[in-house]
């Protein structure tokens, strides 16, 4: 009897029920995949600028919340930091988010402007390194080709070496090159320019007030130790962070200070619950329908443990069969969403393993609940 694939025979006997169960589990998996994917894309997209910075330490205001809400601090803190032994350079970074005129559509769209001294690149981006001399020209900027929106003609012209004119706050500017970072939930794209051009575009900003300070250390200097030294000696109107901590600041903001991170996490939980309910309905109906047969097996000497294992095997089979189409459809939806939004939405092995384990747990939990009737099956009541 133990050699008979009873669980598989039970699952596959009613093809319509099997298809419904697979569809329900696949739907739950798709929901979990999309919610987890969007949550990761939220964090990754909003920290792309941080991870592209060329710095060992970053000075920010203690009031800074995220890259588009960087409270300024005095530029002289950079000069003070540079006076410490082991600090090679301390450079200013200016950041602000404003609307500009899309060169293709002529509509106003949100964009993040970043400014730095072009004598030295503040970014680990080949596109920026190639175009440093262009940034020294007045009203000249570099455009992020990963920006979200209709910029096809602009990108094609820049790739051909042409200069594309547009406007920002009624001031004419010239797009003279491309770099690649990508859109985020905070901004549709990014524009990089020189510090002087930045100040021309944002006349209300003062050169003496910077958004962040990029600290480069001498070779061999421990960033953590230097971070402690600078934090202990600089005034409390600046906070010294490693590059990883600066990115974590952005992630924490979106995770704790906005509803988006919570919504994506809640969506994952809802997907788990939906799948568990669907599998429970399938298994509960199956147990109720075959309760006389289970009672007969009990009368033949098979214990509750064996009968429960059959139901759990059914749950495991359903989990695997439903996960496969869910994974395939989710991968396609990732590609579709990535093409439409330019968000970094990719299927990863870690996420596949996470959702698979959630699917197994979801189905086993449903199986455990569905076996309550099975435990009470009494052969005497049947016969």
The 10s digit of each residue's pLDDT in 331-369 is: 999 999 988 888 888 999 999 999 999 999 888 888 888
* More confidently predicted of 302 and 353: 353
Average pLDDT of the chain?
A: 87
- State the pLDDT at residue 1: 44
- pLDDT > 90 in the chain, percent: 51
Neighbours of 51 (CB within 10 A): 14
Has residue 305 got a pLDDT over 60?
yes
Lowest model confidence (mean pLDDT) among 166-175, 231-240, 303-312: 303-312
Confidence of residue 383 (pLDDT cuts 50, 70, 90): low
Has residue 289 got a pLDDT over 90?
no
Q: What is the pTM of this model?
A: 0.80
Residues β-bridged to residue 301:
none
Lowest model confidence (mean pLDDT) among 61-65, 93-97, 261-265, 344-348: 261-265
Provide mean pLDDT across the span 206-220: 93
For 5-49, the pLDDT digits (tens) are: 767 777 777 788 788 888 888 998 999 999 999 988 888 888 999
Residues 6+ apart with CB under 8 A from 291: 373, 374, 377, 382
């Amino acid at each position: 009897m133990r050699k008979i694939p009873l669980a598989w025979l039970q699952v596959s006997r009613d093809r319509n029920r099997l298809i419904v169960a697979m569809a329900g589990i696949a739907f739950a998996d798709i929901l979990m995949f999309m919610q987890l994917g969007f949550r990761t894309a939220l964090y990754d997209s909003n920290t792309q600028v941080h991870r592209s910075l060329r710095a060992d330490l970053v000075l920010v205001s203690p009031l800074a919340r995220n890259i588009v809400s960087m409270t300024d601090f005095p530029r002289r803190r950079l000069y003070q930091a540079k006076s410490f032994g082991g600090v090679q350079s301390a450079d200013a970074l200016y950041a602000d988010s404003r609307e500009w005129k899309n060169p293709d559509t002529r509509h106003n769209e949100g964009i993040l402007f970043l400014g730095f001294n072009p004598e030295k690149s503040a970014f680990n981006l080949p596109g920026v390194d190639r175009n440093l001399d262009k940034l020294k020209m007045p009203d000249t900027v570099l455009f992020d080709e990963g920006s979200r929106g209709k910029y096809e003609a602009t990108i094609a012209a820049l790739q051909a070496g042409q200069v594309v004119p547009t406007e920002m706050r009624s001031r004419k500017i010239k797009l003279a090159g491309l770099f690649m970072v990508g859109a985020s939930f905070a901004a549709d794209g990014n524009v990089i320019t020189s510090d002087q051009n930045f100040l021309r575009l944002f006349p209300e900003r003062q050169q003496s007030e910077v958004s962040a300070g990029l600290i480069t250390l001498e070779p061999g200097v421990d960033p953590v130790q230097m971070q402690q030294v600078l934090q202990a000696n600089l005034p409390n109107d600046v906070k010294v962070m490693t590059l990883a901590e600066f990115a974590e600041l952005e992630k924490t903001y979106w995770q704790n200070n906005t509803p988006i991170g919570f919504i994506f996490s809640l969506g994952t939980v809802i997907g788990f619950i939906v799948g568990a309910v669907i599998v429970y309905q399938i298994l509960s109906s199956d147990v109720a329908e075959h309760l006389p047969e289970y009672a007969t097996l009990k009368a033949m000497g098979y214990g509750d443990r064996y009968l429960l294992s059959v139901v759990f095997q059914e749950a495991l089979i359903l989990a695997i069969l439903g996960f496969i189409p869910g994974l395939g459809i989710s991968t396609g939806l990732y590609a579709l969403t990535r093409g439409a939004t330019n968000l970094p939405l990719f299927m990863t092995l870690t996420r596949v393993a996470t959702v698979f384990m959630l699917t197994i747990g979801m189905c086993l939990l449903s199986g455990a609940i569905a076996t309550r009737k099975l435990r009470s099956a009494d052969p005497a009541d049947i016969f």
